[in-house]
Structure 1
Amino acid sequence: MQLSEQTVPSPSPLSIDEQYKNARALLREALKATGRVYLSHRTDDHFYQLSDQEQLDVIKGIGNWANTVLEFVASGGDHRNTKNLVRYYLARMSLLTPMGFIDNIVDGDIVEIYGDDAKRLFFNPELFDYSSYAPDVMFSNQWWNLYQRDGDISQKIHDYCIDIFVGRKADPFVPDLPVCEVTEIKSRGRYTSSMMMKSMSPVKVGDKVVGVACLERLKLLSGEQIQSTHPLS
């Protein structure tokens, strides 16, 4: 008697909720590796108001960032060495910046890389020192929905980004922007920092521009300092 073949069921794909839970656990480990603590998960998490594709993009962004940090630290890298961490991220993701951008990075700087949807692809962990947003929020919003600053300065940054994506600015450059105050819009702490934009640069895959890198210097301001002029060291 020939036994009928039994089909072994394939594992069920993880639900979005399970993927998000795993991504946050990974992010928690990455933050721990840099001496930081993940803020508590909230039942009203904005993540669940996003579209399915936006949720997947957030999960992917968290995974890329957390794995970059964990792998860099596991290889013996110092997460406080911003220049080396940025180099590692770019190599890991097969991305390039034109000559000169990385050379200008010094420890204590903030490097943010944004995609063509104006959402973060990468930032060095020191950004959390100036932020009261939950970590996962950093990957799911356009920058103008997270921060408020002088409208003319925001417009100028937006225009510079367009110039980069269309090829009008192909090399790293120092943007013509004053030191300005940047305030969180939706966070619990509503932190305000003074920001100096030191450099902006295209980020490429081959010859195609896929992102914008911003090199910044931040200083967290107290309530008494807000609306005052404070040069950055």
Structure 2
Amino acid sequence: MSIDLQNVAVESEVENEKFKTLAQRLSVMLAGEGVLVRTYDKGLPYFSKLSEKQKQTINYHLEFYVELCREQMSEGYSLSDGPTFVWRALRKLNLIPRSDLFQYFNENSVIEIYSNENVQLFRSLNFFKFCSYTLEELHSREWWLLFNRDTRITDSLLGYAGKIFNQEIGENFVPDIPTHVVRELASVDMLVTEINFPVMGPLYHNKRAVALIIAEDAKILEG
């Protein structure tokens, strides 16, 4: 079976252009909230090297996030309104949290949602205040090439995630993880951030934990 290389190249360029359009839209939205985020470098040095399936998956998740932001703003809410933004994401993802989840958050919390396949499904606006990578780098490069933290912390996080998805942990909890430092490894600003986790917990679909939510309190130390 022959492969139409010309058609493959055209499809690849379509995905490249789609990513650039979505990244630009998101950057404009975030700028409207006073958060400046760089989009991508000339030539898409990371995204352009991915497979078509990887590109399509990234564009799917980025389009989801752009649409989530658009809905939040169109209904008169700020992206910095953490609780409503998180609730909107949970509804759109069809995920159900434990009832006490929001008592662990504050207006400065960084909120992230991950699937049971370790895919980031959502990040709150505050995430971008503590990250200097481009949107292309965040979506196209493996996280261990971008950030460094003590391997014991990483192992603890993965251990807790495993217990959530194995149904061993069924409530929101404060993880027994000390305050620690996360370093950017290849960014423009090379930020060094102090992190602690006030809450981690399961998110349910059809009564099964299929995702997890984690909040972070962060403070930039260097950069």
Write out aligned runs for 1:80-91 (5 A). 80-91=80-91
Cα distance, 1:197 vs structure 2: 0.7
Q: Deviations over 1:82-137 (max 9, x none)?
A: 11210111112221111211232110111011123323111111111111111243
Indicate conservation of the 8 Å contact 1:33/1:70, yes or no. no
Q: Equivalent residue of 1:15, what SS?
A: helix
2: CA distance, partners of 1:26 / 1:44: 16
Task: Supply the AA of the counterpart residue of 2:66.
Answer: A
Indicate conservation of the 8 Å contact 2:199/2:215, yes or no. yes
| 1:103 corresponds to | 103
Q: Deviations over 1:172-228 (max 9, x none)?
A: 1110000000111232222110001111111222223222211110000027xxxxx
Cα distance, 1:140 vs structure 2: 4.1
Identity rate of aligned residues, in percent? Answer: 22
Indicate conservation of the 8 Å contact 1:58/1:136, yes or no. no
Cα distance, 1:47 vs structure 2: 1.1
1: CA distance, partners of 2:88 / 2:146: 27
| 1:197 corresponds to | 197
Q: Equivalent residue of 1:210, what SS?
A: strand
| Residue segments in structure 2 that go unaligned for 5+ positions in a row | 1-9
CA RMSD in angstroms, aligned pairs only: 2.1
Tell me the TM-score normalised to structure 1 length: 0.82
Give the greater-gyration-radius structure (CA).
1
Indicate conservation of the 8 Å contact 2:204/2:211, yes or no. yes
Q: 1:40 to 1:27 in 2, by over 3 A?
A: closer
Tell me the TM-score normalised to structure 2 length: 0.86
| 1:65 corresponds to | 65
Greater CA drift, 192-201 or 181-190: 181-190
Q: 1:139 to 1:204 in 2, by over 3 A?
A: farther
2: CA distance, partners of 1:33 / 1:68: 15
| 1:41 corresponds to | 40
| 1:171 corresponds to | 171
Higher RCO, 1 vs 2 (CA within 8 Å, ≥6 residues apart): 2
Q: Equivalent residue of 1:215, what SS?
A: strand
Indicate conservation of the 8 Å contact 1:30/1:69, yes or no. yes
Aligned pair count reads 212
| 2:113 corresponds to | 113
| Residue segments in structure 1 that go unaligned for 5+ positions in a row | 1-11, 224-233
Q: Verify: 1:51 aligned to 2:27, yes or no.
A: no
Q: 1:167 to 1:153 in 2, by over 3 A?
A: same
Task: Supply the AA of the counterpart residue of 2:80.
Answer: R
Q: 1:61 to 1:91 in 2, by over 3 A?
A: same
